[in-house]
């Protein structure tokens, strides 16, 4: 009876000690998902009417899902990693070796998502290469694209057109990966500590 109660006490104690990183990971994953629906890419241009009219500024923005396949894949990888990582918490004391490997796998998946997002950003031609400031002429793209339209995976001028949504995602994902790594290391230390004495 005493042994059974101590096992129950151990089962309860283990998740409580690791609750804060799991909650932080869940919050960051939700924040990233919300951020993916905010502007990641933006085009802006000025229009002046003939005859000396007042110039007007126009802006067209797109989310991660609308603007880039690479960014969409990056968000999917990180969100899937968060869901899988948190699901491991439901089986804390079952299959410890398998769960340890799965947590490392989800950590690597989230890291891959971060790398994909940054590589996709870097692959966008800079202002110097494309020679413009966010306006793609309609005659360069077939299919009825009008002046100022954002075409998926046809992005230019990363310095001026990539917006704060992307940079927030990079910061959030970096913090998320760091928390996952911290939690994995802590769990590994707790699992090996009793056998080292």
Please provide residue 143's backbone torsions phi and psi, each rounded to the nearest 5 degrees.
Answer: 100, 20
Per-residue pLDDT of the chain (197 residues; tens, 9 = 90+): 444 444 444 444 344 345 688 899 999 999 999 999 999 998 876 666 665 666 666 778 899 999 999 999 999 999 999 999 998 877 666 666 777 888 999 999 999 999 999 999 999 988 765 544 444 444 444 455 565 677 788 888 888 889 999 999 999 999 999 999 998 888 776 655 554 44
């Amino acid at each position: 009876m005493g042994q059974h109660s101590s096992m129950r006490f151990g089962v309860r104690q283990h998740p409580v000690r690791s609750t804060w990183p799991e909650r932080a990971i869940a919050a960051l994953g939700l924040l990233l998902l919300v951020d993916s629906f905010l502007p990641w890419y933006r085009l802006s241009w000025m229009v002046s009417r003939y005859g000396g009219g007042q110039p007007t500024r126009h802006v067209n923005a797109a989310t991660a899902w609308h603007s880039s396949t690479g960014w969409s894949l990056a968000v999917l990888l990180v969100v899937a990693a968060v869901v899988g990582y948190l699901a491991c918490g439901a089986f804390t004391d079952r299959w410890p070796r398998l769960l340890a490997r799965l947590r490392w796998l989800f950590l690597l998946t989230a890291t891959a998502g971060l790398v994909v997002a940054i590589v996709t950003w870097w692959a966008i031609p800079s202002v110097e290469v494309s020679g413009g400031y966010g306006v793609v002429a309609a005659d360069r793209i077939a299919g009825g694209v009008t002046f100022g339209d954002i075409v998926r995976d046809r992005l230019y001028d990363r310095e001026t057109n990539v917006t704060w949504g992307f940079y927030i995602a990079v910061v959030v994902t970096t913090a998320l990966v760091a928390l996952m790594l911290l939690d994995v290391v802590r769990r590994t230390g707790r699992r090996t500590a009793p056998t080292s004495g």
